Amino acid sequence: MDPLDLVSSLGHAESLGRLEDLPPEYLKAINDLSVAPLWPQLRGLLPRHKPARNTQPFMWRYAEVRPHLLRAGELTPIEKAERRVLVLCNPGHGLERLVATPTIYVGLQLILPGELAPTHRHTPTAVRFVIEGSGAYTTVNGEKCPMEKGDLILTPALNWHEHGHEGSGPVVWMDALDLPMVYAMEASYAIEGPSQRSRPDLDASQNKYRRAGLLPYASLGQVQRPQYPQIRFPWTDVREALGLLASVTPADEAVQLAYVNPETGQPCLPTLGFSAQLLRAGQDFRPRKRSASSVIHVIEGRGESVIDGTLLQWGEGDTLALPTHAEVIHRATGEHAYLFHVDDAPMQRALGFYEDF
Ligand code: 1HN
């Protein structure tokens, strides 16, 4: 049977009534009551089989953005910025909405030696992924986390955080936040607070959760587990773990590690998911199509991706946006490449509709 006949046999019209089909006085009467008919908009809200997407497959080249970020360091003192950030805006959403994908905000943040980005906490959840430089730190609820290249640092919703820089040279990191969702919920706000520098608890979660399979003994008896036991995930450990995983993973399978809560094995944050991938040289990697949107940051290496037919050739420091339901091929050209993924799969799972195909 023709699929269109099947649709009509199920009682679904191919096209629904339009606004113009309604008498103007009827429309005015209901509009005056702040009421609108659903059917002219129904197919737009619920397209058949695949969502409508404005997000473009897109790439921001680090080499192109970096000079402007450094210039911002000259143009705008930290006191006038609080957070000196250039936001990566997906062209499919324009420059106003400040989104890389519908759910993921991404910015590149610069801190210079001696600067302090003051303490605050807010309802959106954030992570930092360090791109270059050394000697900066983020203090999260009193825990002082060093920031070295490739480190992932979590600042969960409503956790106090501030950034400082005790080294030399610029430090740049990528911020990823669930801000678009929280803002859409009309729930986004911040509170400023005093510096936490008086009570630094140096990198405590790193020392407690040093190795997979080993937990602080006392935590076994805890009825209430800490919501965010591990705050920092150092790149040196993740890179080594990826190398070991690669050595036992068949050539046609993904070498990818999820950043999880070590107490529960669940994604380390409730809204966004994070993973690191070793892309082996010289072979195409075709992940399953996913309902989640995502952002990929190139930690090391060179390569190219075809995303919904768009070819993006990437190198170290570049950042890519992937729409929901994207058809994706990645390949490393040259040596192995290392990718950091941010996705909204945890949010989609919580809402009950995450799919991969
Ligand atoms: C924020 O708090 C930081 O703490 C960075 O470094 C970027 C973007 C939007 C809202 C809050 C930070 C942010 C942000």
Are 24 and 132 in the same domain?
A: no
181 lines ligand 1 (CB under 6 A): no
3-class SS of residue 42: helix
Single out the residue of 141, 81, 73, 66 nearest to residue 113, CA to CA. Answer: 73
Are 284 and 145 in the same domain?
A: yes
Q: Is residue 6 part of a domain?
A: no
Are 127 and 42 in the same domain?
A: no
Q: Can you tell me which atom of ligand 1 is nearest the CA of 128?
A: 6
Are 22 and 136 in the same domain?
A: no
Q: Can you tell me which atom of ligand 1 is nearest the CA of 161?
A: 4
Q: Can you tell me which atom of ligand 1 is nearest the CA of 162?
A: 4
- pTM of this structure: 0.96
Cα dist from 129 to 96, 146, 148, 164, 176, whole Å: 24, 12, 9, 15, 8
- What distance in angstroms lies between residue 65's CA and the mean position of ligand 1's atoms? 18
357: its two tokens? 């195909």
Are 37 and 115 in the same domain?
A: no
279: its two tokens? 């892309």
83 lines ligand 1 (CB under 6 A): yes
Cα dist from 40 to 20, 21, 26, whole Å: 9, 9, 14
Predicted local confidence at residue 204, as pLDDT? 87
Domain residues for the domain of 22 are 17-46
Q: Is residue 53 part of a domain?
A: no
- What distance in angstroms lies between residue 39's CA and the mean position of ligand 1's atoms? 40
107 lines ligand 1 (CB under 6 A): yes
Are 27 and 145 in the same domain?
A: no
Q: Is residue 9 part of a domain?
A: no
Predicted local confidence at residue 3, as pLDDT? 56
- What distance in angstroms lies between residue 16's CA and the mean position of ligand 1's atoms? 44
321 lines ligand 1 (CB under 6 A): no
Rounded CA separation 237/212 (Å): 11
Predicted local confidence at residue 8, as pLDDT? 64
User: What stretch of H or E contains 70?
Assistant: helix 62-75
140 lines ligand 1 (CB under 6 A): no
- What distance in angstroms lies between residue 316's CA and the mean position of ligand 1's atoms? 23
Where residue 341 falls (left for φ over 0; alpha for ψ -120 to 50; beta otherwise) is beta
Count of domains for the chain:
2
Q: Is residue 200 part of a domain?
A: yes
Are 33 and 172 in the same domain?
A: no
- What distance in angstroms lies between residue 161's CA and the mean position of ligand 1's atoms? 10
- What distance in angstroms lies between residue 293's CA and the mean position of ligand 1's atoms? 21
Q: Is residue 5 part of a domain?
A: no
Are 41 and 73 in the same domain?
A: no
Where residue 282 falls (left for φ over 0; alpha for ψ -120 to 50; beta otherwise) is left
- What distance in angstroms lies between residue 182's CA and the mean position of ligand 1's atoms? 13
Predicted confidence (pLDDT) per residue in 143-158, tens digit: 999 999 999 999 999 9
DSSP string, 230-285: --EE-HHHHHHHHHHHHHTS-TTS-EEEE-B-TTT-SBSSSS-EEEEEEE-BTS-B
The answer to whether the beta carbons of residues 205 and 262 sit under 8 Å apart is: no
Rounded CA separation 277/239 (Å): 9
Are 25 and 100 in the same domain?
A: no
- What distance in angstroms lies between residue 82's CA and the mean position of ligand 1's atoms? 9
Q: Which residues pair with 329 in a beta bridge?
A: 306
Are 180 and 262 in the same domain?
A: yes
Give 299: exposed, middle or buried? Use CB within 10 Å, 0-12, 13-18, 19+: buried
Predicted local confidence at residue 7, as pLDDT? 63
Predicted confidence (pLDDT) per residue in 92-135, tens digit: 999 999 999 999 999 999 999 999 999 999 999 999 999 999 99
Q: Is residue 100 part of a domain?
A: yes
273 lines ligand 1 (CB under 6 A): no
Single out the residue of 270, 269, 242, 267 nearest to residue 256, CA to CA. Answer: 242
Pocket-testing residue among 69, 78, 82, 85, ligand 1, by greatest number of atoms within 8 A of Cβ: 85
Q: Is residue 202 part of a domain?
A: yes
Are 34 and 62 in the same domain?
A: no
Are 305 and 339 in the same domain?
A: yes
110 lines ligand 1 (CB under 6 A): no
Q: Is residue 141 part of a domain?
A: yes
Q: What is the CATH number of the domain that holds 285?
A: 2.60.120.10
Predicted local confidence at residue 6, as pLDDT? 58
Predicted local confidence at residue 199, as pLDDT? 66
Instruction: Give the pLDDT of the chain (357 residues) as one tens digit per residue.
Output: 555 555 667 888 889 999 999 999 999 999 999 999 999 999 999 999 999 999 999 999 999 999 999 999 999 999 999 999 999 999 999 999 999 999 999 999 999 999 999 999 999 999 999 999 999 999 999 999 999 999 999 999 999 999 999 999 999 999 999 999 999 999 999 999 999 866 667 888 889 999 999 999 999 988 888 899 999 999 999 999 999 999 999 998 999 999 999 999 999 999 999 999 999 998 899 999 999 999 999 999 999 999 999 999 999 999 999 999 999 999 999 899 999 999 999 999 999 999 999
The answer to whether the beta carbons of residues 232 and 206 sit under 8 Å apart is: yes
